[in-house]
Amino acid sequence: MSVFAVEFKVRDYECDMQGIVNNGVYFNYLEHARHEFLLEKGIDFAELARQNINLVVVRSELDYKASLTSGDQFTVTVAFEPVSKVRFGFRQQVIRQADQKVVLEGLIIGTAINERGRPAIPEQFAAQLGA
C-alpha cells in the first residue's frame, strides 16, 4: 500500500483558548490531504461533481493522540483502502515533523453518489484509486 503525504504548518487562528489546534480543524487537514491525493491519482473532485458524481464521507473515526500548537509543522498521510463494492476508505495520520510523533490516526470511509442519488463507484475511479 503506497502512502501519499502533504506538509502543513499550524496557523494561529486554528488554535483554541488552550493554545492547541481545535479538534474540528483536523477534519480540514485530512480533507485537504485527501483532495491532494485524488489529484495525484488524476481524479478531480470538482470535475466529478460537475458530472453528477459526488464523493461523500459516510463515516469518520479519529483517534487523537497528541496536540499540535501554533507554528508546528506536520505531515498528513493518506493511504487508500478498499472497503466494499460501494465504499472506499482512507487511512490517515497526522505526524508532527519535529519529533515524528503521530498526533492523530484516522479512518475515513466514503462513497460516490451517482445522479440518481445512489451509491455507485465508477470503474475508472476505482481503478485510479487503487493504482
| Residues annotated catalytic, as ranges | 16
* Cell numbers describing residue 47: 470535475
CB 67 within 8 A of CB 103: yes
**One-letter amino acid for residue 53 of the chain:** I
Q: Please, which residues bridge with residue 20 across strands? A: 69
Helices and strands in the chain: count of H runs, count of E runs: 3, 5
User: Quick one: CA dihedral 108, 114, 117, 120, positive or negative?
Assistant: negative
* Cell numbers describing residue 118: 445512489
